[in-house]
């Protein structure tokens, strides 16, 4: 892999000067600046492109340079890598994949967001390529884990990076004295909120992610979502991993892949005394909204017994409200929020349905469907 160039996507490396000798910026940008000397001549983008703040302009400047380079690895936030692939492919004949764009590519490193909703789109781009995919779990608090096996087999915890890991059940995370587990006594395949202490000064700090330990020796985990990313308006307790899986399966059912999605709780109103869920979904092409909604609902029932019970009761949860969005709408929404590119992440769950109003507004919105 070190025989050629690596592409590392980061925020602008032009850091903000807060005070004399004190600068701040994206974690990815600081990592790019602090990379070891031996790697600096092997990594794209170069300094003149790395300092750019406009993400689309940065990708367009990097694309032709990347095509002229012997690219061996690409790493970055999952959703923005896909946009880069599209930008580069636009410079080549129609139908080009990564095997055509970067024939020597060996490794694609992704992280920052759950991989499940994007897995099918990555499979399209990687078709015919020999490149492996590996997930990493970096955070501002420390480098937590990295995949030492294949997709979905767990990320190996970094036990020698100055971090002490504790695991707290999500329902107890706000308690005064929650029960804290560590590697030795955390229950495998049970969901926990991850808590860190570090030699950088953190003490019992809740990262905000939920995880499941899948092996203990060595310890490997799967990231299941965020502590704030759950839908539970009637006690159904849908978590991020279940939403991601259901979205992917519903998209496959209609012959499409997920570009991005977000969801929100819907409170009872004068028209319907039941609560529900609103889903804003962008697929990679037109689809039958009725079939998509049916597949989503059926998958959530299979994955979550509480959801199934509330849906079956007739008075617990209304039918899911599905809004299929036109191409590029999520990218524009993120740009409007100042979150386009770098480490910007589409929120899988937002607090209220009103929060999605700007995303769903406008003449370009496609018809909604509520089963």
* Residue 237 or residue 298, greater confidence: 298
> Is residue 367 over pLDDT 60?
no
Q: Residue 196: which pLDDT band, with cuts at 50, 70 and 90? A: very high
Burial zone of 315 (CB within 10 Å; 0-12 exposed, 13-18 middle, 19+ buried): exposed
Average pLDDT of the segment spanning 319-338:
86
Separation in Å, CA 132 to CA 2, 75, 127: 15, 12, 11
* Residue 95 or residue 41, greater confidence: 95
Long-range Cβ contacts of 14-23 (<8 Å, 24+ apart)? 14/51, 14/53
What is the rounded CA–CA span in Å between residue 336 and residue 187?
Answer: 42
What is the pLDDT at residue 370? 46
* Residue 267: half-sphere exposure toward Cβ, Cα within 13 Å: 5
| pTM for the model | 0.77
> Is residue 243 over pLDDT 50?
yes
What is the pLDDT at residue 343? 67
What are the boundaries of each domain within the chain?
Answer: 5-137, 158-226, 230-370
Distance of CA 75 to the CA centre of its chain: 14
> Is residue 366 over pLDDT 80?
no
What is the pLDDT at residue 371? 39
> Is residue 298 over pLDDT 90?
yes
Mean pLDDT over the full length of the chain: 87
Q: Pick left, alpha or beta for residue 62 (phi over 0 → left; psi -120 to 50 → alpha; otherwise beta).
A: alpha
Tokens of 52: 């750019």
pLDDT tens digit sequence for 58-102: 889 999 999 999 999 999 888 888 889 999 999 999 999 999 999
pLDDT tens digit sequence for 204-218: 999 988 999 999 999
What is the pLDDT at residue 283? 94
Tokens of 366: 């496609």
């Amino acid at each position: 892999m070190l025989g050629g160039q690596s592409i590392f996507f980061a925020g602008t490396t032009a850091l903000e000067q807060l005070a004399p000798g004190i600068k701040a910026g994206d974690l990815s940008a600081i990592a790019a600046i602090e990379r070891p000397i031996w790697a600096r001549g092997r990594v794209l983008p170069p300094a003149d492109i790395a300092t750019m703040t406009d993400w689309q302009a940065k990708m367009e400047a990097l694309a032709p340079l990347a095509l002229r380079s012997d690219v061996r690895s690409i790493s970055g936030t999952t959703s923005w890598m896909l946009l880069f692939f599209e930008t580069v492919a636009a410079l080549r004949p129609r139908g080009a994949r990564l095997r055509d764009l970067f024939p020597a590519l060996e490794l694609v490193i992704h992280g920052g967001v759950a991989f499940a909703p994007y897995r099918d789109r990555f499979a399209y781009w990687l078709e015919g390529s020999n490149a492996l995919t590996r997930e990493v779990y970096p955070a501002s608090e420390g480098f937590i884990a990295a995949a030492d096996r294949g997709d979905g087999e767990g990320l190996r915890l970094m036990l020698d990076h100055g971090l002490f890991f504790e695991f707290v059940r999500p329902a107890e995370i706000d308690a005064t004295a929650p029960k804290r587990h560590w590697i030795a006594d955390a229950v495998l395949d049970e969901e926990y909120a991850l808590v860190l202490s570090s030699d950088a000064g953190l003490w019992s700090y809740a990262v905000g992610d939920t995880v499941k330990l899948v092996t203990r020796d060595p310890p490997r985990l799967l990231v299941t979502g965020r502590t704030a990313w759950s839908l539970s308006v009637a006690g159904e307790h849908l978590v991020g991993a279940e939403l991601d899986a259901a979205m992917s399966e519903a998209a496959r059912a209609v012959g499409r892949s997920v570009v991005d999605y977000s969801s929100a709780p819907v409170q009872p109103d004068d028209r319907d005394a039941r609560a529900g869920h609103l889903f804003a979904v962008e697929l990679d092409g037109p689809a039958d909204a009725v079939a998509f909604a049916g597949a989503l609902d059926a998958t959530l029932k299979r994955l979550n017994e509480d959801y199934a019970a509330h849906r079956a009761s007739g008075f617990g949860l209304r039918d899911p409200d599905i809004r299929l969005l036109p191409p590029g709408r999520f990218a524009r929404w993120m740009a409007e929020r100042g979150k386009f590119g770098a480490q910007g992440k589409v929120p899988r769950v937002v607090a209220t349905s009103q929060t999605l109003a700007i995303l769903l507004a406008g003449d370009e919105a496609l018809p909604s469907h509520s089963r």
